[in-house]
Copies of this chain bind each other. A is one copy, B any other.
Amino acid sequence: MFAEHGFRAATVRQICDRAGANVAAINYHFRDKETLYGEVVRYASARVVETYPFDPKPKGATPELRLRALVRNYLMRFFDPNLAWYGKLICRELAEPTDFFEEIVESDVRHYADQLTEAVKEFLGDEISSERLRMCSNSVAGQCLLYPYTRLILARLYPDDVITTDFIDRLVEHITQFSIAGLRGTRKRAAGKRRRISRTNGRPSASQILKTNRSSARPPD
């Protein structure tokens, strides 16, 4: 229910109805709705990590095999039918974190991100700047996460597309090859990189922080 409707929209009455239990059961077995949600989130995260571990091909594998395995994990995490609702729940937390999100990031997301960064580093070498490394790692992650995140949009844009196991296979292959080519291109370019000159004839313009919190740039009243 939480995965399908979100924390707020999933009511304790609906949850208990589906579970065949009385509404008071939630407050008896768990303290309240929020604590129950916390347990669900923790359980979901554990099952996902259990089935798709952080580093599926740690030792003795070529960089390409490691990257491919990581890409497959990133995707299967969200499309494995047995873990579909887990994936949706995590996805919901990624898009709109609750109080339990910090916990998920630290115990789950960060490990995935680190493993991906490590795998990417094997293509770029150790001298790469941390910013560029992160951008590259994000480029791979973004390609994977687009599909679960914008699932409903893609379904509407391309109604005929159905996600099958074969499609996932082809997608893993595409993202892996696209990324490897991208990484190699980036490495080459980073080596012979020229200093970018801002438009105001030579003098670099002041960098402006782009705030996105509520204090800035409200809609017109």
> A177 with B168: in contact, given A9-B8, A109-B157 (CB under 8 Å)?
no
* Contact A147–B138 (Cβ < 8 Å): yes
> Cα distance A7–B40 when bound, in Å?
24
**Residues of chain B lying within 8 A (CB to CB) of residue A19:** 221
A33 within 8 A of B: no
* Contact A179–B182 (Cβ < 8 Å): yes
One digit per residue, 1 when the CB lies within 8 angstroms of any chain B CB and 0 when it does not, for chain A 143-177 equals: 11111011111101110011111111111011101
The 10 closest A-B pairs by CB, nearest first: A181-B185, A142-B146, A182-B182, A166-B207, A178-B182, A95-B95, A142-B142, A164-B207, A142-B143, A81-B217
Nearest-Cβ distance from residue A122 to partner chain B, whole angstroms? 17
Could you write out 19 A-B pairs with CB less than 8 Å apart? Answer: A44-B219, A81-B210, A81-B212, A81-B216, A84-B216, A85-B217, A85-B219, A95-B150, A96-B96, A105-B153, A135-B170, A135-B174, A139-B178, A146-B146, A165-B207, A168-B210, A177-B186, A178-B183, A181-B189
A110 within 8 A of B: yes
Q: Tally chain A residues at the interface, Cβ within 8 Å.
A: 90
* Contact B85–A151 (Cβ < 8 Å): no
Q: Which of B82, B173, B210 contacts A79 (CB 8 A)?
A: B210
A102 within 8 A of B: yes
Nearest-Cβ distance from residue A50 to partner chain B, whole angstroms? 13
